[in-house]
């Protein structure tokens, strides 16, 4: 189909989201408008669109890269894991029940038709669509149920670029093995190969590129460099698995607790771009005294993650840190954990009906329907920012609120000494606000670079290594 292109991967975490983001920005620089699309995301990192719908954070970022307002059609199906066998289903931006075990496949035809309709809608309005796949395109046992990768490409006549990750090792097997298990029909959709995260001298891999092209009969249209310190939104918590550092930090540093069901951890990625400030995600309890601040992030299942924290002894570490004068920030679910009673009588998030938080903030939280999905503008010390709310727990202040943010709907959040709390996600995406917050909360002075744009940085880093002429020809159907 003219005006479409799919980036499908040899596996998860090979860089599909980042490559799609870069391509959308590079097309925009060339005056070519294209919309992002991912039929189904499985992620607890989400954002709220202007119309009040919830989509994956990756497609939200890709829309921004393309110069478009994010919308639910760009990610019509979002699956938010709550446990190994239990997920919340979000359809066209709205919570649509829960999935348990293999019940997802019982709705396969319904979800396929919905995803295809969203794709057709985007194509009719924008003319060009860049599709991001999910996981590996070579999951042959799921091929008859697939509407995200080659199932979508075949149904809509979309040309495909296959993306592999050389940094993992075994890139030849990744590429050749993926192609070998495909049917002849599926194999015919693939028009080129991209190799991601290459380090070192490119000339030393010239023979490797030749071998791949001769073995597969497909052109290598990009040998893309490893680009460190991007800090663009990650797809899911896989990206956090290696971020539990063995040594305590020295100097200004912030710790984020890595709950098993952590959500919207992308809220804190801007902290990793602050020069002179260390950011650590911590899963296992340790002495928190070396940290300037400890953050309790959002959670897809607050009571379950709170029980996990108590089982490991995190509660004692947090309370000891607070008793020593440590600074705490709770965001959304983490804010609820800082409070007192947490009630879930309808089992909206978990089967546990009630629990007790850390008792540091005088709020009572009750989980209710419907889900709150809202973009909000907030002001603090004359700095205006935009954030968004995604939660079902509603909190009641048990004493006079001590807010630190002003919104169009009234005061928001809590600040009392060294404890800060808010329901708003995305606040740190605004450099001026982040600078002010760091100064006020931990006395850290940082002047942001007003011209810094991580998407532009990514696009400029990849552009010299992409055959954009040929890629655009494939996109346009030539």
Beta strands in 345-382 (DSSP E): 354-356, 363-380
Q: Which residues have a Cβ under 8 Å from the Cβ of 443 and sit 6 or more positions away?
A: none
Contact 441, 416 (CB under 8 A): no
- Residue 226 is given by DSSP the state P
- 20 is known as an active-site residue: no
The angle, 0 to 180 degrees and rounded to 10, between the axes of the packed helices 16-29 and 468-475 is: 90
Residue matched to tokens 């890629």: 471
List C-alpha distances in Å: 120 to 34, 44, 128, 156.
13, 26, 11, 9
Q: Are strands 354-356 and 341-343 parallel, antiparallel or unpaired?
A: antiparallel
Return the percent helix, strand and coil in the chain, to nearest 5: 35, 30, 35
Q: Write down the catalytic residue from 20, 280, 322, 332.
A: 332
List C-alpha distances in Å: 57 to 42, 91, 225, 348.
11, 15, 24, 23
| Residue 223, strand partner residues | 195
Q: Could you tell me the two tokens for 251?
A: 């100097």
Within 13 Å, how many C-alpha atoms sit on residue 468's CB side? Answer: 18
Q: Write down the catalytic residue from 280, 322, 391, 425.
A: 425
**DSSP codes joined into one string, 405-419:** EEETTEEESEEETTE
Catalytic residues: 332, 425
């Amino acid at each position: 189909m003219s005006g479409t292109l799919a980036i499908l991967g040899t596996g998860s975490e090979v860089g599909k989201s980042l490559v799609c983001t870069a391509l959308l920005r590079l097309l925009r620089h060339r005056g070519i408008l294209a919309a992002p699309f991912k039929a189904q995301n499985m992620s607890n990192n989400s954002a709220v669109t202007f119309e009040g719908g919830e989509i994956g954070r990756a497609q939200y970022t890709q829309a921004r890269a393309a110069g478009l307002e994010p919308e639910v059609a760009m990610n019509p199906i979002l699956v938010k894991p709550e446990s190994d066998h239990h997920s919340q289903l979000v359809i066209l931006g709205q919570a649509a029940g829960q999935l348990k075990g293999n019940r997802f496949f019982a709705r396969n035809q319904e979800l396929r038709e919905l995803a295809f309709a969203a794709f057709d809608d985007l194509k009719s309005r924008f003319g060009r669509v860049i599709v991001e796949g999910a996981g590996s395109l070579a999951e042959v046992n799921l091929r008859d149920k697939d509407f995200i990768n080659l199932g979508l490409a075949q149904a809509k006549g979309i040309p495909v670029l296959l993306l592999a990750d050389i940094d993992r090792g075994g890139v030849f097997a990744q590429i050749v093995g993926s192609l070998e298990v495909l049917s002849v029909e599926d194999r015919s959709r693939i028009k080129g190969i991209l190799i991601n995260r290459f380090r070192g001298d490119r000339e030393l891999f010239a023979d490797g590129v030749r071998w791949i092209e001769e073995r597969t009969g497909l052109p290598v249209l990009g040998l893309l460099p490893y680009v460190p310190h991007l800090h663009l939104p990650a797809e899911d918590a896989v990206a956090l698995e290696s971020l539990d550092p063995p040594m305590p930090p020295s100097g200004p540093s912030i710790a984020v607790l890595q709950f098993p069901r952590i959500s919207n951890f992308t809220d804190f990625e801007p902290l990793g771009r602050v020069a002179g400030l260390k950011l650590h995600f911590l899963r296992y309890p340790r002495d928190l005294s070396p940290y300037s601040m400890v953050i309790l992030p959002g959670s897809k299942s607050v009571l379950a993650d709170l029980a996990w924290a108590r089982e490991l002894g995190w509660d004692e570490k947090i309370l000891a840190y607070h008793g020593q004068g440590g600074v705490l920030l709770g965001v959304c679910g983490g804010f609820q954990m800082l409070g007192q009673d947490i009630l879930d009588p309808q089992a909206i998030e978990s089967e546990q009906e009630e629990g007790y938080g850390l008792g540091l903030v005088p709020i009572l939280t009750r989980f209710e329907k419907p889900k709150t999905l809202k973009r909000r503008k907030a002001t603090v010390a004359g700095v205006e920012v935009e954030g968004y709310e995604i939660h079902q727990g509603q909190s009641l202040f048990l004493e006079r609120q001590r807010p630190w943010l002003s919104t169009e709907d009234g005061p928001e959040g809590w600040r009392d000494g060294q404890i800060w709390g808010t329901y708003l996600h995305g606040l740190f995406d605004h450099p001026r606000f982040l600078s002010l917050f760091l100064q006020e909360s931990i006395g850290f002075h940082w002047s942001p670079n007003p011209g810094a744009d991580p998407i532009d940085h990514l696009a400029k880093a990849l552009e010299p290594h992409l055959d954009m002429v040929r890629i655009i020809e494939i996109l346009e159907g030539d």
